[in-house]
Chains A and B, each alone.
Chain A
Amino acid sequence: MGAPNLPMEKIVEKKPYFKYLRLNKMPTIWCPGCGIGQAFRATCMALDELGISNDQVAMVSGIGCSSRTPGYFDGFTLHTTHGRAPAFATGLKLARPELTTILFTGDGDALAIGGNHFIHAARRNIDLTVILINNWIYGMTGGQVSPTTPEGAYATTTPYGNYEPQFDIAKLAIAAGATYVARGTAYHAMELKKLIKDGIKHKGFSLIEVLSPCTIVYGRKNRMSFEEMYFWFKENTLPVKAWEKLPEEKRAGKIPRGLLYHDDSRPEYTEVYWSKVKALSGGEK
């Protein structure tokens, strides 16, 4: 898929979120059917609806398929080292609090190698919007087990099935201090856009977990076609309100979607820092 033949103005007229794309860098590296593109599109649509211009956005990532997103985003973009995006973003956001700062990360990037930075950014409640592509696998490196690979699932490093327990990402983020926590899927595209939009609007650390099919690597290893994977999200997730109504014994294997946690009472880190500085320095910068 090359860049579309229509002039840019025409495309932007029809799909205003296209203004955030670096079309000359496409096609993307992502495999056919991969869910990362859905999350990326939802992010661009959310930014457009919020009226945030390209010049107001920084996008930071670590390493992985999901972390390749900033390359295609026409803003101030940093593709950093594996797991460390929250650290780089913390520095950037503290120095430039006016930039809407979005992170794209993966289950391995954020929860394995970068777990420490992830929880500390949440603890500080710094105004970052973290979009965590949870595809249950290390996609980029060819399908090794990750901290969210389901029990029994196959990965290249679990040839006899995975026997490690998984992180519950939302609970981890809430316990660490995140003040906006949501879960969406690549199947429920418009709902995802809304969750990301609210996450960006929220002043504080926002986490949006995106259940996303790694069609080529996870799918192949676990004998699921990409249609089956998208269908799985449809069948096995449900809105959090509906999930809450389920009796305990029926909840097993069902994953709630939507806004899971929201707390507007805690102060945001850069606001706290800069008001301290203002008091100490009399506004000098």
Chain B
Amino acid sequence: MAKLELKYGNHACAEAAVLAGCRFYAGYPITPSSEIAEKMAELLPKKGGVFIQMEDEIAAMGATVGGSFAGLKAMTATSGPGFSLKQENLGYAFMVEAPCVVVNVQRGGPSTGLPTQVGQQEIMQSLWGTHGDKMIPVFYPGNVQEIMEETIRAFNWAERLRTPVVLLLDEVLGHMRETVDMEQFEEGKVEIWDRKMPKVPPEEYLPYKPEEDGVPAIAPYGTPGYRGHATGLHHDYTGFPTTDPEMCQELIERLINKVKSRQKELERNEAYKLDDAEVAIVAFGTTARAAKTAVDLAREKGIKAGLLRVITIWPSPEETLYELAKSVKAILVPELNMGQYVLEVERCAKGEAPVYRLNRANGKIIYPHEILAKIEEIVKGGK
């Protein structure tokens, strides 16, 4: 039996986090993400969890890592300027392998930008915003039901891989009310993964020694006997700083590969009318909603259009995009930025199909008829 509820996007994110087992939230208010913090402030104390509003986003990210090291599933949420402030400590979380979920409800940038309007300008920053090399999972749902699914998936992968996971939303999704079928989220029906615990006795415990999956089993701080050190410096298996070149290279390769090697498992897309498509749209989030309508409009006009809606943005679905490029005559990437993911699509297409862009960064969405017009232009052989 379907159990339908009308839900607000940002609230859905908070509720799903609690369902996923989140018991720690540290944040700092910023439009259009504040409702996530407000909902967490209401829910977590009743669940015996921690909510704290910190003095800024740097502190919120730091406290989140602190909560995670204590063994709690931890989350923080923000938007544009706050996401920039979090970057150094997000890199720290990656380096010390602190599981956590960082939500960025995208608004128009750069700088203070367009606080109350939509943007998709952090596609690249979500992966490359912090200094140094990095690979972390980045998920981007496309409707409120999926916000719940992807929030839970973000927590599960964060815990399994001991990594920060970025969950991208955008202003439209965060501030949208939609029907959610709550049946799949009922008690006992949600699949929850927890982080692994060390299997060795304390004398043999090496917090940063990876197991076969490349993930170390670090005990929560406070676990008797399992003391350890964590540092943002390059470190050895004990967690202590090292500059040994072999150890440093091994560390950085492991941190990247533990995520990259799971790309197939992490991949999630929606293929819409792609089977016989000649023009494929690659889109995500709010823009993918307009793209879907554009596909239908194009089909009404006899144009074989289809949509690949990317949900796992990073690591990118390289093979899927390559196969797509081989199967169509052209690809169009509409996005609410000046051309970000299109670079990745071009890279993955390897020249098998021309890749066109449709860009906007003025706080307005891209409408279906605009995408349709672009498709018609492409089909006519224009640009």
* A99 proximity list for chain B (CB < 8 A): 221-222
Tell me how far the C-beta of B213 lies from the nearest C-beta in chain A, rounded to whole angstroms.
Answer: 24
Q: Is B381 part of the binding interface, using a Cβ–Cβ cutoff of 8 Å?
A: no
Q: Please report the C-alpha to C-alpha distance between residue A284 and residue B23 in the assembled complex, in whole angstroms.
A: 11
Q: Is A2 part of the binding interface, using a Cβ–Cβ cutoff of 8 Å?
A: no
Is A84 a contact of B47 with CB atoms below 8 Å? no
Which parts of B18-57 form the interface with A (CB within 8 Å)? 23-24, 26, 45-50, 52, 54-56
* B50 proximity list for chain A (CB < 8 A): 91, 94-95, 273
Given A79-B233, A81-B88, does the pair A277, B45 have CB atoms closer than 8 Å?
yes
- Binary contact track A113-138/B, C-beta < 8 Å → 1, others 0: 00011001000000000000000000
Which parts of B205-242 form the interface with A (CB within 8 Å)? 221-222, 224-225, 227-233, 240-241
Q: Is A191 part of the binding interface, using a Cβ–Cβ cutoff of 8 Å?
A: no
Is A90 a contact of B63 with CB atoms below 8 Å? yes
* A95 proximity list for chain B (CB < 8 A): 24, 50, 66-67, 70-72
Which one of A74, A120, A280 lies within 8 Å of B59 (CB-CB)? A120
Q: Please report the C-alpha to C-alpha distance between residue A60 and residue B88 in the assembled complex, in whole angstroms.
A: 17
Q: Please report the C-alpha to C-alpha distance between residue A188 and residue B304 in the assembled complex, in whole angstroms.
A: 83
Is B66 a contact of A92 with CB atoms below 8 Å? yes
* A45 proximity list for chain B (CB < 8 A): none
Is B229 a contact of A55 with CB atoms below 8 Å? no
Q: Please report the C-alpha to C-alpha distance between residue A277 and residue B52 in the assembled complex, in whole angstroms.
A: 12
Residue in A71, A95, A277, A285 whose Cβ sees the most chain B Cβ within 10 Å: A95
Given A25-B240, A70-B229, does the pair A96, B45 have CB atoms closer than 8 Å?
no
- A68 to chain B: closest residue by CB: B241
Given A96-B222, A281-B46, does the pair A79, B59 have CB atoms closer than 8 Å?
no
Q: Is B92 part of the binding interface, using a Cβ–Cβ cutoff of 8 Å?
A: yes
Is B229 a contact of A91 with CB atoms below 8 Å? no
Tell me how far the C-beta of B96 lies from the nearest C-beta in chain A, rounded to whole angstroms.
Answer: 8
Which one of B60, B67, B224, B232 lies within 8 Å of A80 (CB-CB)? B232
Is B228 a contact of A90 with CB atoms below 8 Å? no
Q: Is B106 part of the binding interface, using a Cβ–Cβ cutoff of 8 Å?
A: no
* B64 proximity list for chain A (CB < 8 A): 91
Which one of A25, A55, A78, A281 lies within 8 Å of B230 (CB-CB)? A78
Residue in B54, B68, B74 whose Cβ sees the most chain A Cβ within 10 Å: B54
* B230 proximity list for chain A (CB < 8 A): 77-79
Given A95-B71, A117-B55, does the pair A89, B227 have CB atoms closer than 8 Å?
no
Q: Is B157 part of the binding interface, using a Cβ–Cβ cutoff of 8 Å?
A: no
Q: Please report the C-alpha to C-alpha distance between residue A73 and residue B119 in the assembled complex, in whole angstroms.
A: 46
Q: Is B58 part of the binding interface, using a Cβ–Cβ cutoff of 8 Å?
A: yes
Is B221 a contact of A80 with CB atoms below 8 Å? no
Q: Is A189 part of the binding interface, using a Cβ–Cβ cutoff of 8 Å?
A: no
Which parts of A72-105 form the interface with B (CB within 8 Å)? 74-81, 84, 86-96, 98-99
Q: Please report the C-alpha to C-alpha distance between residue A273 and residue B46 in the assembled complex, in whole angstroms.
A: 12
Q: Is B62 part of the binding interface, using a Cβ–Cβ cutoff of 8 Å?
A: yes
How many residues of chain B are within 8 Å of chain A by beta carbon? 46
Q: Please report the C-alpha to C-alpha distance between residue A281 and residue B46 in the assembled complex, in whole angstroms.
A: 4
- B230 to chain A: closest residue by CB: A78
Q: Is the interface of A mostly helix, strand, loop or mixed?
A: helix
Q: Is B121 part of the binding interface, using a Cβ–Cβ cutoff of 8 Å?
A: no
Given A120-B55, A284-B47, does the pair A74, B227 have CB atoms closer than 8 Å?
yes
* A54 proximity list for chain B (CB < 8 A): 227
* B224 proximity list for chain A (CB < 8 A): 55
* B68 proximity list for chain A (CB < 8 A): 91
* A273 proximity list for chain B (CB < 8 A): 50, 52
Residue in B47, B72, B74, B227 whose Cβ sees the most chain A Cβ within 10 Å: B227
Is B66 a contact of A285 with CB atoms below 8 Å? no
Q: Is B65 part of the binding interface, using a Cβ–Cβ cutoff of 8 Å?
A: yes
Q: Is A276 part of the binding interface, using a Cβ–Cβ cutoff of 8 Å?
A: yes
Is B45 a contact of A281 with CB atoms below 8 Å? yes
- Binary contact track A181-225/B, C-beta < 8 Å → 1, others 0: 000000000000000000000000000000000000000000000
* A4 proximity list for chain B (CB < 8 A): none
Is A84 a contact of B222 with CB atoms below 8 Å? no
Q: Is A283 part of the binding interface, using a Cβ–Cβ cutoff of 8 Å?
A: yes
Tell me how far the C-beta of B76 lies from the nearest C-beta in chain A, rounded to whole angstroms.
Answer: 10
Tell me how far the C-beta of A110 lies from the nearest C-beta in chain B, rounded to whole angstroms.
Answer: 14
Which one of B59, B65, B70 lies within 8 Å of A96 (CB-CB)? B70
Which one of B58, B60, B67 lies within 8 Å of A92 (CB-CB)? B67
Is A76 a contact of B62 with CB atoms below 8 Å? no
Which one of B89, B225, B241 lies within 8 Å of A71 (CB-CB)? B241
- A269 to chain B: closest residue by CB: B52
Is B62 a contact of A80 with CB atoms below 8 Å? yes
Q: Is B341 part of the binding interface, using a Cβ–Cβ cutoff of 8 Å?
A: no
* B45 proximity list for chain A (CB < 8 A): 276-277, 280-281
- A60 to chain B: closest residue by CB: B66
Q: Is A58 part of the binding interface, using a Cβ–Cβ cutoff of 8 Å?
A: yes
Tell me how far the C-beta of B373 lies from the nearest C-beta in chain A, rounded to whole angstroms.
Answer: 48
Q: Is B94 part of the binding interface, using a Cβ–Cβ cutoff of 8 Å?
A: no
Q: Please report the C-alpha to C-alpha distance between residue A57 and residue B69 in the assembled complex, in whole angstroms.
A: 14
- B72 to chain A: closest residue by CB: A95
Can you list the 8 inter-chain pairs with the closest CB atoms, starting with the nearest? A91-B66, A87-B62, A91-B63, A95-B70, A87-B59, A92-B66, A285-B48, A79-B231
B interface with A by C-beta (< 8 Å) = 23-24, 26, 45-50, 52, 54-56, 58-72, 74, 88-89, 92, 96, 221-222, 224-225, 227-233, 240-241
**23 pairs, CB–CB < 8 Å, chain A vs chain B:** A75-B227, A76-B69, A76-B221, A77-B230, A78-B96, A80-B89, A87-B62, A87-B89, A88-B69, A90-B52, A91-B52, A91-B64, A91-B66, A91-B67, A92-B69, A94-B24, A96-B221, A99-B222, A116-B55, A120-B54, A277-B48, A277-B49, A280-B45
